[in-house]
Chains A and B, each alone.
Chain A
Amino acid sequence: MKALSVLLLALTLGSLPIHAAGLKFSPELNGHYRGTLTYSSNGLAPTGSDFNVVVTVPGNGRQAKIAIDGFATATQGPTTISYAFLGNLKIAPNRTVTADNALLAFYFQIPATGRALGQKKLSYTLVSNDPAVGNVTMTYTLSFQGKKLTILGTGTAGGNPTSVSLIAKRRGP
């Protein structure tokens, strides 16, 4: 009976998903990135090719902060408007994702939290019920490959299918 309990415990521990492990980021990811943000929802597609992304990883690698800013230009009929898109994202060592924007970056804040899964390629879902936009549910994948940062998100915002993509490259070494 005791052996069976130990076996069950071992099986339970062994079946814990690998994503439960803590996260560690390389301080080499630190730096200024520049790239393109594309947003698509409800027939509008604001796009900006000169977005700034600042990645901050402390020396112990236990969290990553990503700050995004730039202008995205949208054309609707004869009118072209550039919107200031801002967004801040923090991934804590316990895999909690805290974002001031469920849409990654937008011209107003839509705070949301989520939980990151995976190791090299993180995925997380942000959910918010913002009075201005309505329900927002977006699932993201985030990956660093060499100097390249890619964040892709799909979901719904205010009942409309929505997608966001940010592809940025680190400047300097």
Chain B
Amino acid sequence: MNRLCLSLATLFTAGSIFTSSALAAKLDFTGYAGSYKATSIVVFGNTVLNGSNIQFDVAVPENGRQAKIKILGFGGAASNSGITYTSLLGNFTLTSQRRIVADNALLAFFVRLPATGRLSGSSKRLNFSLASSVSGVGDFSATYTLRFTGKKIIITGTGTALGGPLSVQYIAKKKHR
């Protein structure tokens, strides 16, 4: 009985160590650097922002320990007076220690909505949540999945914006050199 308990305890401890080490594994962003061109769609309330020529710049140092992503472009939204093109600008940094520091909870928007979060998953498929509350603007929160395929970066997110549902999607293709 004692031996069985000891075996179970050993197994549990080993399992815990394995699980926690897998969760805490450092991320490596080597190979993701480059310029990408993206399409985007951001929907909240009655607003649909479509972007078709969004610039994604990904900078990764040689050691691959962080990825700095800049999103830059315009999103078009239908209004009574035609289509209004609104700026979409955002910077976020992913670190090997599984943190994300973003200047926008919507990743890119015409207003800065600073947010930070924790990354889970692998370097190729990351999950994170961002929330921001800016006085005079409102509350925004979203949970994202970011996938690096090598040639593409695909980001999808859902959440709430100004009390209503929010969805965000970016599909970025690496530019040929």
Residues of A within 8 A of B (CB): 69-71, 76, 78-86, 100, 106-109, 131-132
Contact = CB atoms under 8 A, between A and B. Distances in A.
Contact of B89 (A71, A76, A81): A71
13 contacts: A69-B89, A70-B89, A71-B89, A76-B136, A80-B135, A80-B136, A82-B112, A86-B72, A86-B74, A108-B74, A108-B85, A109-B84, A132-B79
A79 to B, nearest CB: 3
Interface residues of B, number: 23
Given A71-B112, A108-B110, A109-B74, A84 B135 contact: no
Contacts of A131: 79, 81-82, 84
A107 B86 contact: yes
B72 A69 contact: yes
Interface string B120-164: 000000000000001111000000000000000000000000000
Name A's interface SS.
Answer: strand
A82 B87 CA distance: 12
A81 B103 CA distance: 13
Interface of B: 72-74, 79, 81-82, 84-90, 103, 108-112, 134-137
Given A69-B89, A71-B89, A84 B110 contact: yes
A70 B74 CA distance: 13
A108 B135 CA distance: 21
